[in-house]
């Protein structure tokens, strides 16, 4: 994190699970990450990564 630097980027970040997850007890597998940095050339860079965990499944042996 760039503490003390004033960047022009403004962003909001949230991961919100579906309401049915609280009923089924299924954990939320969605992930998000946002962070602003200044590179060696003094250029501002915004990193934003998201992953939808909808295709994630776990099969437990009996």
Res. 54 pLDDT band, cuts 50 70 90: low
Q: What is the pTM of this model?
A: 0.52
Number of domains in the chain: 1
- Residue 39, domain extent: 1-62
pLDDT tens, position by position, 28-44: 777 888 888 888 988 88
What is the reported pLDDT for 25? 77
CB 50 within 8 Å of CB 32:
yes
Res. 58 pLDDT band, cuts 50 70 90: low
């Amino acid at each position: 994190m760039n503490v003390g630097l004033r960047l022009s980027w403004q962003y909001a970040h949230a991961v919100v699970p579906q309401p049915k997850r609280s009923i089924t007890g299924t954990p939320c597998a969605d992930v998000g990450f946002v962070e602003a940095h200044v590179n060696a050339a003094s250029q501002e860079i915004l990193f934003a990564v998201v992953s939808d965990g909808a295709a994630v499944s776990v099969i437990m042996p009996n």
